[in-house]
Chain A
């Protein structure tokens, strides 16, 4: 392993985090909320450590796959640690573990909180909390790639390790430019949503907070009862639509921009995603209406918001969906695992993987009927490489392996089954709220320190799609000469 280049890259990453923290400090200054000093100290610490690391001179400049994975794995732990400092130093969150949990929850776009009372938080911290969603959504390292003018060989490994989906590709030949285009689209979506929310009557600050939470598919709100606090149907519709937009593959928007307008509807994954969304909305609406919880219109309003919020792994809520009938809750619970599309800001297993797994099972069945037949799993008219497919199968297993392990560890706390299961599902898929105690009206504050650490880790594992974090625990990954 090329430790020097890893350290150096981490240094660059920290400098980028420092830049990302500046807007929050400005907000803090504008509102005179008294946490500016905390930001200033954090910035000082980050910049100093960053400069220290940048001065490491690597012997070789090339980054191989494992170096890329190490950079991503460590990078995320590191930025979460430094990202937690403003919460801790300002005294808003007295425990360092809690601050760490909150920061990871932000960067991984989970939106799970350990705070009972959000509204009294200083504006600067509220802004930073949500802004971490925004950077974490598209990827901190992708941001680094977009900002840096020139990158060493093999930087694609970093992007591969950080971007969601089974085989992330480039949009244009140059990696740096690809990252810039992605962030450009991301910025544009963000800007449009802020404008629309303000037009819908939400205050500017709240609009920013909720936009960051939406486009990053995070879910931190500035209100205790989330978006429901506004009871503003326009804002809800806008947020629903933008959640769905952020849950789809961003490269499709690039193709649309290039004039291929049909790309979105032609994409097999997008069609699957939309089908799942609409079917779920339909079932939940009918179910809610049948139990006469709401009128038909209200049922549609809340079900569509909630389905979009859960499948894109955002985690906003307009009502306490924990009180919904079991059938609706079950649909939401399974939507948690599906998650967004590859190349989106959403978490979860991703639609493309589910779709390919379904196709693989179908091919397996056909193989039993015609034992000598040769079947290829096809996606978008192209044969899917066997390697990619077997990778998805192992991913699926690994996902549930992590899920089960984490459930066991959290169950030591002795909460009820729904709380335990849904808290792990909600963090592993980066959603935020689960059911029962950790439901939309609850939070994670009552969990033990062990559970908070375990859930922090599951958030990271979920966001980075397992392997970068899992690799850090493999001994031969660390050896200089590994055989």
Chain B
């Protein structure tokens, strides 16, 4: 696919990285030489310096043959105009990042008038992710599939959990409330576990199942679930705005700490029912006086990564039960995980995931990358013409790095075994390592193709042997 990305910032760069690795032809346009130079040095993409709104620049970048235009500059207006021009010049589909709440309310009209095929609002998505996380406070991360009927939680194994040392086949109550441990991250490596896999301390495990099943599992494993009632948020930005609305609906009360007086005033006007406090969120004294120790969750959402981390650490030290920090730069994820912060939200990562899902095409319902991008969880809908429906799973030659984690059929949730089959219209949740899957048929290993396929495979093998 020929993809044009306008804006070589963090999201643009990360998208280009993933898309070029998936073998798409990526061209990046940006006005700044420095940003482009980084992409040019590290990625196999074409870089063009210029203004993405300019017709000439778009033509030079080959907009006429482009299948997809993604506008992710820091200005909503530029993104919209880019997409508008791009569409008129021949781009097949367009995606724009639009983050201003003002525009967010008018999205349907915008989409129609500008011809946008997808709008991403990273702040809204981040707020949704935080809200989801608060529903399973003991988990590090919560992902939602099949319109919320299936959830996946990320759990860090600590010493006091009874799960330590247990083999997967000995897990309690498997049949009553089926859950599945789909993937494990141990020492930075992703593992797809089998029945005799033994859980160890410090593993990160990913548990899939329906919400009640997961809840029951956590209860039997003596992992305490606190119902979240009170939340403190530092930083009155767009995420805080969306989050406040979502949490109020869930019946959670929250107070927002913001250092800028004027922003406080604006927020107080926008959200009349919320407590707004004007002060420094990294100030221990202020946090204590606002009884941080009693808070069920503490979320830092300022624009500075460092401040967010410090505030979260201070809060954790003073007894906040769950702390979440927002991070924009993805490079130091590995370091942060050791700090003791329960959860890290990265809006850029969420944005990238959403666009990736869009690129993969219509049959992909949800896409999340887990384990620092080493694995993907994908939700697909089985179509009538798929080659693998109505065949027992054990008879299919499914590639080794892929597991069919869950099948959702109307109101039933199936953790599949060898004899289960996928029917038409089922939602299938798949965990895959190292491979790109955009439809169900990609699951099976090619075996039929005859000489030509054989030859292709051999060339591929040769390529990977002498691959530099």
Which A residues form the contact surface with B (CB < 8 A)? 5, 8-9, 11-12, 15, 54, 61, 63, 65, 148-157, 169-170, 172-175, 177, 385
Contacts and interface: CB of A to CB of B under 8 A. Distances in A.
A170 B46 contact: yes
Interface in B445-468: 459-460, 462-468
A9 B463 contact: no
B467 A148 contact: yes
A123 to B, nearest CB: 32
A150 B465 CA distance: 10
B22 interface: no
Contact of B468 (A155, A177, A385): A155
12 contacts: A54-B466, A63-B468, A65-B41, A149-B463, A150-B463, A150-B467, A155-B44, A155-B468, A156-B40, A157-B41, A172-B46, A173-B26
Given A15-B466, A54-B466, A151-B468, 18 more contacts: A8-B468, A9-B468, A12-B466, A61-B468, A148-B463, A149-B459, A149-B460, A149-B462, A151-B44, A153-B43, A154-B41, A156-B40, A156-B44, A169-B46, A173-B20, A173-B26, A173-B27, A173-B44
Nearest to B462: A149
B103 interface: no
Nearest to B19: A173
Nearest to A171: B46
Interface of B: 2, 20, 25-27, 33, 40-46, 459-460, 462-468
A278 B462 CA distance: 50
Q: Which of A63, A150, A157 has the most CB of B within 10 A?
A: A150
A173 B19 CA distance: 12
Nearest to A151: B468
A174 B44 contact: yes
B29 to A, nearest CB: 12
Contacts of A174: 20, 25, 44
B40 A173 contact: no
A174 B42 CA distance: 13
B20 to A, nearest CB: 7
A173 B468 contact: no
Nearest to B17: A153
Given A173-B25, A173-B26, A385-B33, A152 B42 contact: no
A177 B465 CA distance: 20
Contact of B25 (A15, A154, A172): A172
B466 A173 contact: no
Contacts of B466: 11-12, 15, 54, 148
Given A172-B25, A385-B33, A148 B44 contact: no
A192 B26 CA distance: 33
Nearest to A12: B466
A47 B42 CA distance: 31
B27 A154 contact: no
A65 B464 CA distance: 23
B468 A152 contact: yes
A150 B464 contact: yes
Nearest to A170: B46
A351 to B, nearest CB: 22
B41 to A, nearest CB: 7
Contacts of A175: 44
Contact of B467 (A151, A170, A177, A385): A151
Nearest to B46: A173
Nearest to A258: B62
A399 B46 CA distance: 30
A177 B464 CA distance: 17
A5 B468 CA distance: 7
Nearest to A64: B41
A154 B467 contact: no
Contacts of B45: 173
A177 B26 CA distance: 12
A148 B466 CA distance: 8
A174 B3 CA distance: 12
Contact of A153 (B42, B459, B463): B42
Nearest to A51: B466
Contacts of A148: 463, 466-468
Contacts of B2: 173
A431 B452 CA distance: 46
Contacts of B40: 156
A350 B459 CA distance: 39
Nearest to B48: A169
Contacts of A385: 33
B163 to A, nearest CB: 34
A208 to B, nearest CB: 29
Contacts of A151: 44, 467-468
A385 B466 CA distance: 37
A154 B17 CA distance: 12
Contacts of A5: 468
Nearest to B4: A173
The 8 closest A-B pairs by CB, nearest first: A149-B463, A173-B46, A173-B25, A152-B468, A9-B468, A173-B45, A175-B44, A170-B46
A177 B27 CA distance: 14
A255 B27 CA distance: 17
A315 to B, nearest CB: 34
Contacts of A172: 25, 46
A150 B2 CA distance: 18
B463 to A, nearest CB: 4
Nearest to B50: A382
Contacts of B463: 148-150
A4 to B, nearest CB: 11
Contacts of A149: 459-460, 462-463, 467
Contacts of B46: 169-170, 172-173
A165 to B, nearest CB: 15
A15 B465 CA distance: 13
B355 to A, nearest CB: 17
Contacts of A170: 46
Contacts of B44: 151, 153, 155-156, 173-175
Contacts of B33: 385
Contacts of A9: 468
A149 B23 CA distance: 11
Nearest to A175: B44
Nearest to A5: B468
A416 B43 CA distance: 52
Nearest to A385: B33
Contacts of B20: 173-174
Contacts of A150: 463-464, 467
Nearest to A54: B466
Contacts of B464: 150
The listed residue with most A CB atoms (<10 A of its CB), out of B40, B459, B462, is B40
Contacts of A152: 467-468
